[in-house]
Amino acid sequence: MLLLHLASVWMGIMALDELRDLLNRHARSDLSTSIEDVLIFKAEQPQPPMPTTYGRVLAIVAQGTKRFALGEQMYEYREGQFLIASVDLPVTAHFAKASPDLPGLGVGLTLCQATVAEVLLQAAPGDLPELGEGAPPGLAVSTASAELLDAVIRLLRLLDRPEDITVLAPLIKREIIWRLITSDQGAIVRQFGLPDSSLSHIALAVQWIRDHYAQPFRVEDVAKLAGMSVSTFHRNFQAVTGMSPIQFQKQIRLQQARLQLAAAPSDIATVSRRVGYDSPSQFSREYRRQFGAPPRQDASRLRASATGSTR
């Protein structure tokens, strides 16, 4: 047993070494690759946490530690671990440590709901455990299995053989989805692939709030959109996002404000109104509580970081 364990550990180390090599060689400044829906992340210097969206994605860290905040919850995943997200969630994220000699490295695969559904339909009855009631979390972190790492590495190897991508990439992506479905986070992926699942209904509400974040809304109306009673909607929305619908809207508003302020200097009152706040002072208080600095100071810091300024 000890020898088998040591062999497994050694294979895991070798797999991560190859994954790091592939990511280092094929990383681009725009994150894209020649394989559809596959992104490569490479950070060569520490950066402040930046607002982004984790949604419908598998992300694996090959080197370094990536930290992110969702609402008031903090998460991190490190080399050999994966994140799975099934709805569009507002987070602030960054590689905790990074340098040119030891960059943060990761790979992301956007998940297609239709492909997940097709893979589920091919599973034999009894191959998968029963799904529990209610919606699972919309985001989770786990250790990647040797089989999952192997499939991801074989997908990235296609970058060295572009003539094979068209035929082989879809097959390997389906294998990756199956590895996720049969992982300890399989319930998230399975509900994501079922159009009538609790998770899918909450995803409709999440998308509506994201599209109309600057508008006030009644929870009763969004619950109706999701096809749920108000109490059931509250319970499932909290389970998926870790927040109430109103808290979720506030996160979207603050994230959008931060992106606008980081892109260009702007009047704080104008930005606060643009994202849905009636009171600039309330906006400034909530912004500082969320990001640790007043809007103008935080935006200046973000712009300085983006331009490489040392001020």
Q: Which domains, and CATH codes, for the chain?
A: 2-193 (2.60.120.10), 196-311 (1.10.10.60)
Residues 6 or more apart from 54 whose CB is under 8 A from it? 68, 70, 83, 85, 88, 89, 91, 93, 139
- For residue 32, the 8-state DSSP code is B
DSSP track, 238-270? HHHHSS-HHHHHHHHHHHHHHHHHHHS---HHH
Helices (H), the chain: 2-26, 113-122, 146-157, 165-181, 186-193, 198-211, 219-225, 230-241, 245-263, 268-274, 280-291, 295-307
- The pLDDT of residue 53: 82
Instruction: Of 219, 286, 307, give the one whose Cα is nearest residue 271.
Output: 286
Mean pLDDT within 29-55: 89
Which range (117-126, 250-259, 275-284) has the least confidence? 117-126
* Residues forming beta bridges with residue 41, ordered by sequence position: 106
Q: 43-52, 100-109, 160-169: lowest mean pLDDT where?
A: 43-52
Average pLDDT over residues 168-183: 96
pLDDT value at position 229? 96
Residue 98 near residue 44, CB atoms below 8 Å: yes
The DSSP letter of residue 293 is S
In this structure, the dihedral spanned by the alpha carbons of residues 34, 54, 285 and 237, taken in order and rounded to 10 degrees, is 160
Highest mean pLDDT of the ranges 6-20, 90-104, 143-157: 143-157
Q: Using the structure block, give the residue that is written with the tokens 């935080």.
A: 298
Q: Regarding predicted confidence, which is higher, 209 or 195?
A: 209
pTM, entire model: 0.84
101 Cβ contact list (under 8 Å, min separation 6): none
Coil, helix or strand at residue 213: coil
For the residues 138-166, what does the mean pLDDT come to? 96
User: Distance (Å, rounded) from C-alpha 112 to C-alpha 38?
Assistant: 12
Query: Taking Cα atoms as reference points, which of 102, 179, 100, 116 lies closest to residue 146?
Result: 179
Do residues 39 and 107 touch, judged by C-beta distance below 8 A?
A: yes
Number of CB atoms found within 10 A of residue 231's CB = 9
Q: Is the pLDDT of residue 307 over 90?
A: no
Residues 6+ positions from 204 with CB-CB distance below 8 Å: 225, 226
CA dist., res. 193 & res. 41, Å (int): 26
Q: Alpha-carbon distance 102 to 110, whole Å?
A: 26
What's the one-letter identity of residue 97?
K
Tokens of 112: 């297609």
